[in-house]
Amino acid sequence: MKAAMPSFYVLLVSAVLLVSAGCETTHGQSASSYLDDTSITTSVKARLASDQMATVTRIDVETTRGIVHLNGVVDNAEDKERVERIAGSVEGVQRIVNNLQVRK
């Protein structure tokens, strides 16, 4: 199962890149900028999944112009910081906006 996970994300990224290569964006971004953001988002999600965090399914990742927005719920402050560190380790990330909420 673990070996299939990275190949799944490679396949997913490839499909997204192929589908969106000829598309114009509606956000005012160039196609290449949009593809970069899509790649960053996919890489962040893949790293979070490979880190095997229990809360990964409750985290939404969105990237716009290299700025990664993290939204969702985590179990504790340490997980919130850990998710931010993982996201910040992805190439191309300019800044992190960490809107994660700690479960009370």
Topology of domain 4-21+29-102, CATH: Histidine-containing Protein; Chain: A; (3.30.1340)
Q: 56: which DSSP letter?
A: G
Rounded to whole angstroms, how far apart are CA atoms 85 and 80?
9
Q: Which residue ranges make up each domain of the chain?
A: 4-21+29-102
Among residues 29, 42, 28, which one has the least CA distance to residue 93?
42
pLDDT at residue 72 in the model: 94
Q: What is the pTM of this model?
A: 0.68
Given a cut of 50, is residue 5 above it in pLDDT? yes
- Answer whether 61's CB lies under 8 Å from 87's CB: yes
Q: Give the other-Cβ count within 10 Å of 4's Cβ.
A: 8
User: What average pLDDT is seen over the chain?
Assistant: 81
Question: Tens digit of pLDDT for each residue in 58-96?
Answer: 899 999 999 999 999 999 999 999 999 999 999 999 999
Q: In terms of DSSP H, where are the helices of the chain?
A: 4-20, 31-50, 77-88
- What φ, ψ does residue 100 adopt, rounded to 5°? -65, 140
Q: Match 């993982």 to its residue by tokens.
A: 86
- Answer whether 77's CB lies under 8 Å from 100's CB: no
